Amino acid sequence: MMAPTLLTPQEVYGFAEVAAQFDMKPAVLSWQGGIISRPAQNALLLVTRAPVDGLDYHDRWDGEDLVYGARGQRGNQRLSGVNQLLATNARTNYVFESLGRGQLRFHGTAIAVRYWWDYAPDIDGVERRVLKYLLRLGADRSYAEEDTGEVPIERSEEGARQLKYHLTIERCRALVADAKRYWSARDPLLRCEVCSISFLESYGEIGKGYIEAHHRVPLAALDGATEVMVRDLAPVCANCHRMLHAQDGRTVEDLRQLLARKNAVHYASHK
């Protein structure tokens, strides 16, 4: 069966109308929701909704993009089945928003431009590993990630590719927002892991939430198959972030030790 062609973005449809387009029973939409697989139409239906029955997938809009939670209510989620199909854009992804009372707003088709691993409670309140996707509406499979600007001309082609991928991770707003939530739960002051500055502590309320994200995975180890995890992002201030990028292979720990040695020499010379 061919994929549906009669759905108009931003229009509201009843369960029966959507079900007819995908050759399924309306009840599937009422009791399943989430990610619905329709192999015959080469389609995935992605239904986003408000938290229900104590479970929050943390779906949210980031501008015109949708941050979307993967399938799986208990235990660690897995990159398999429909979750794998969505991550690889193996099918056409149809995005719907549940409005309640048997109605869905169709937002259009989307491409998963990125996915990453985060942490959130499951339906029983147990912390577990979860998958999140950044869905871009209207994009096709030839879509390229956001331009990250020029990379240094002295880099090899492979080095430039690795740096570009590194920067797309650090500049993904939705991913950084999840990282800030993860960091804040562990350090409400959001201190830089290198120099320990807290913008909230130093500047008050105007500094609240100001911190950058540095991807810890070495450039040489990055490729398109590298799984991105929130815990692999380090909170760093802008100055320390620039110093981390000033030399390939320099880690957060390296820079922290370098700064500690410089400070020790400075204080010793002023005694």
| Chain segment 9-60, per-residue pLDDT in tens | 999 999 999 999 999 999 998 776 689 999 999 999 999 986 655 567 789 9
| Among candidate residues 111, 143, 175, the one where a domain is terminated | 143
Please provide the average confidence, as pLDDT, over all residues in the chain: 86
Decide: 127 and 111 in contact? Cβ < 8 Å. Answer: no
pLDDT tens figures, 113-158: 999 999 999 999 999 999 999 999 997 665 544 444 444 444 445 5
Domain with 108 in it: 1-143
Calculate the dihedral angle through the C-alpha atoms of 78, 113, 52, 185, rounding to the nearest 10 degrees.
80
Are 59 and 83 members of one domain?
yes
Pair 158, 135 in one domain: no
63 and 181 in a common domain: no
Strand pairing of 65-69 and 92-100? Answer: unpaired
Let me know: does 9 contact 110? Beta carbons within 8 Å: no
Pair 223, 154 in one domain: yes
What is the per-residue pLDDT for 168?
Answer: 82
**Sequence-distant contacts of 155-164: CB under 8 A, at least 24 apart:** 159/219, 159/248, 162/219, 162/220, 162/222, 162/223, 163/219
139 and 213, same domain (yes or no): no
Instruction: Output the six-digit token pair for 236.
Output: 């760093």
Pair 154, 123 in one domain: no
Of 143, 175, 208, the residue at which a domain comes to its end is 143
Kind and range of the H or E element at 240?
Answer: helix 238-245
| Contact yes or no for 184/190 (Cβ under 8 A) | yes
Within this chain, do residues 173 and 185 fall inside the same structural domain, yes or no?
yes
Check which CATH number belongs to the domain holding 110 and give it: 2.30.280.20
Split into its structural domains, the chain has a count of 2
Residues 6+ apart with CB under 8 A from 19: 25, 26, 28, 29
Residue 149 and residue 252 share a domain:
yes
**What pLDDT is stored for residue 167 in this prediction?**
78
Q: Burial code of 70-79, b = ≥16 C-beta within 10 A, e = fewer?
A: bbbeeeebee
DSSP state of 148: -
Query: CA-to-CA distance for 171 and 213, rounded, in angstroms?
Result: 8
Measured CA to CA, the distance from residue 213 to residue 80 in angstroms comes to 28
Q: Which residues contact 161 (CB under 8 A, 6 or more apart)?
A: none
Residue 111 and residue 173 share a domain: no
The rounded distance, in Å, linking the Cα atoms of 58 and 66 is 11
Q: Are residues 51 and 137 in the same domain?
A: yes
Which pTM was predicted? 0.78
The residue whose two tokens read 């390939």 is 248
- Among the residues of 22-172, which ranges form H helices? 26-31, 81-87, 157-170
Condensed to tens digits (0 to 9), the pLDDT of residues 167-206 reads: 788 889 999 999 999 999 999 999 999 999 999 999 999 9
Let me know whether 138 and 221 are in one domain.
Answer: no
Same domain, yes or no, for 192 and 221?
yes
Last residue of a domain, one of 93, 116, 143: 143
